[in-house]
Amino acid sequence: MFKKIIFSVIIISLFFTVSIAVFAQDDSVLGEDNYTELFTEALDDYNAENYALAEEKFGNLLDNDNLEEGLEFSALYYSTMTAVNRNQTTEAVDYLERMNQLGYQSGNLNWRIAQLYLNKNNQFDSANFNEALNYLEKAGLKLPVIPISIGFISYEELYKIGQAITKTARELDYKIAVIASGDLSHRLKKGAPAGFNPDAHIFDEKLMQYFKDKDFESILNFDQELVEKAGECGLRPIVTMLGTLADLEINLKINSYEGPFGVGYGTVFIKPELTKSRQE
């Protein structure tokens, strides 16, 4: 009797072992068959701007070691784009590097990551121009960059430097872009890097309004008492940049402004209008 019981237990154990193995194999086959369907769902979420859901589903796809290479590339591409759209720079770089390891390059992805490092969406304290340039070059943009360090000289002298930059570019027939980098007030909140001043916010508000009104004359003649209260570090680069725009008709767009950490961050895009003679 005891032997029969032992034999029955062994048979039952073997039955469950085989059953579990079969079910596990079926799950694996089912997963393989549904990779494309899962990718389609993730892509639908991406196109609908449901980026959190898209990220989760693309991640589930990429967790599979046996994913077909073409589908893996597609999942990595859209995972990178999802991270870009969520301002997740580190994640975007990681996905792009994984895609590069597969032997794929994408100028568009490198360009989009460069835009993140340029702080286009104001997600960082400030832009990282070295990393931005690195990814712009990977995207195929091979242009010389000339960093200019400015001292504490007068606004008039800084403005003349800007004028000289434009004059030189014209003489050499160069098309140039000028980036003025610096923070606005450092004293917007208690605990801010340079302490707190209750009037500091007025500097930022006036500066952004002057840009909106294209009132560059007021920027060049800013109230120095207010400048001191703000504890800013961006006005001198701005004055230099304004010198490059002297006597030009421009299009201007206020992109963003915020001061979440007690430091003001504003982003403004300015583009000169091209006359017919300059287009030629």
Which residue, 106, 44, 49, 115, is CA-closest to 82? Answer: 49
Alpha carbons 17 and 30: distance in angstroms, whole number = 20
Which H or E run contains 22?
Answer: helix 2-33
CATH architecture assigned to 14-104: Alpha Horseshoe (1.25)
* Strand runs labelled E in the chain: 250-258, 265-272
pLDDT for the residue numbered 121 = 64
SS3 of residue 100 by DSSP: helix
Q: Which residues of the chain have pLDDT under 70?
A: 1-33, 120-126, 274-280
Residue 125: phi, psi to the nearest 5? -65, -35
pLDDT for the residue numbered 146 = 86
Q: Is the pTM of this model over 0.75?
A: no
Domain 155-279, CATH among 3.40.830.10, 3.30.70.3270, 2.40.110.10, 3.40.50.360: 3.40.830.10
Longest CA pairwise span in the chain (Å)? 107
pLDDT for the residue numbered 242 = 97
Alpha carbons 150 and 250: distance in angstroms, whole number = 24
In the chain, domain spans: 14-104, 155-279
- What would the two tokens of residue 125 be? 């304290």
pLDDT for the residue numbered 46 = 93
Say which residues have a Cβ less than 8 Å from residue 19's Cβ, sequence separation at least 6: none
